[in-house]
């Protein structure tokens, strides 16, 4: 199934330049920013911890020295970095983000992931980026670029969420097909035939 047709925000060349400039100012701190984002996510949404059973926590805070924590934080940061590096060809990210979303479909079906987590991820990312920018830019500049970052990350989240929704729909469709096959007459007849050939009482199988 093709990725959902969600349009990217159309940035002007000046806006692209501003996004790239702001990223260049903080790129050297991206590992630290990534960990800040994930720590804030866990503080704002403690239930999200169950998505990462291997993470270690010291009290209510994640152990930032834990390799699993750093790995997960950087994976998320790579998505953010990939978006700002692809400003001239954002549609090239569609398949990647769609696949990323589909990998979360199973987690949501199993009750481990909630769709509102994407909003939490977005707001925590914006907050931590604003904090990082404020150390290198004046308030007016920060206010300007953070609006652009919100447009960019909002669309990234929409693309991922669309992939998750598509995967869930596919799984539910497959489940309905499996249920139909399970209770269809041909399936029952096949089961009766197997039971007879095995010399087993059919009633013992049900």
Question: pLDDT for 182-200, tens place per residue?
Answer: 555 455 455 555 544 444 3
In this prediction, residue 91 has a pLDDT band, given cuts at 50, 70 and 90, of very high
Pull the structure tokens for residue 50. Answer: 């169950």
pTM, two decimal places: 0.76
The larger pLDDT score, comparing residue 116 to residue 194, is at 116
- d(CA 44, CA 103) in angstroms, rounded, equals 23
Is 115 or 150 the better-scoring residue by pLDDT? Answer: 150
Mean pLDDT score, 102-118: 67
Domains along the chain with CATH numbers: 13-204 (1.10.490.10)
Mean pLDDT for the chain overall: 81
Distance CA 98, CA 61 (A): 31
Residues 6+ apart with CB under 8 A from 155: 6, 8, 9, 90
Percent of the chain surpassing pLDDT 90 = 46
Given 3-state DSSP classes, what are the helix, strand and coil percentages for the chain, each rounded to the nearest 5? 75, 0, 20
**Dist. CA 20–CA 39, nearest whole Å:** 25
Nearest residue to 61 via CA among 31, 32, 35: 35
pLDDT of residue 57: 75
pLDDT score, position 71? 86
Q: Cα(19)–Cα(191) distance, rounded to whole angstroms?
A: 62
pLDDT at 115: 72
**Using the 8-state DSSP alphabet, how is residue 61 labeled?**
E
More confident residue, 100 or 66: 100
């Amino acid at each position: 199934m093709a990725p959902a047709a969600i349009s990217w925000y159309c940035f002007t060349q000046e806006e692209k330049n501003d996004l790239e400039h702001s990223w260049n100012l903080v790129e050297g701190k991206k590992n630290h920013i990534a960990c800040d984002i994930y720590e804030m996510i866990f503080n704002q949404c403690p239930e999200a911890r169950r998505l990462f059973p291997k993470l270690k926590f010291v009290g209510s805070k994640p152990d930032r020295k834990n390799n699993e924590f750093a790995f997960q934080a950087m994976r998320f940061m790579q998505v953010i970095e990939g978006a700002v590096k692809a400003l001239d060809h954002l549609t090239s990210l569609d398949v990647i983000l769609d696949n990323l979303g589909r990998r979360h479909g199973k987690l949501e079906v199993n009750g481990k992931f909630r769709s509102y987590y994407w909003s939490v991820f977005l707001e925590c990312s914006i907050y931590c980026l604003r904090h990082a920018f404020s150390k290198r830019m004046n308030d007016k500049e920060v206010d300007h670029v953070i609006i652009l970052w919100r447009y960019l990350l909002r669309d990234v989240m929409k693309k991922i969420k669309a992939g998750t929704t598509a995967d869930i729909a596919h799984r539910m469709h497959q489940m309905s097909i499996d249920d139909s096959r399970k209770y269809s007459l041909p399936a029952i007849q096949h089961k009766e035939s197997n039971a007879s050939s095995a010399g087993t009482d059919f009633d013992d199988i049900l």
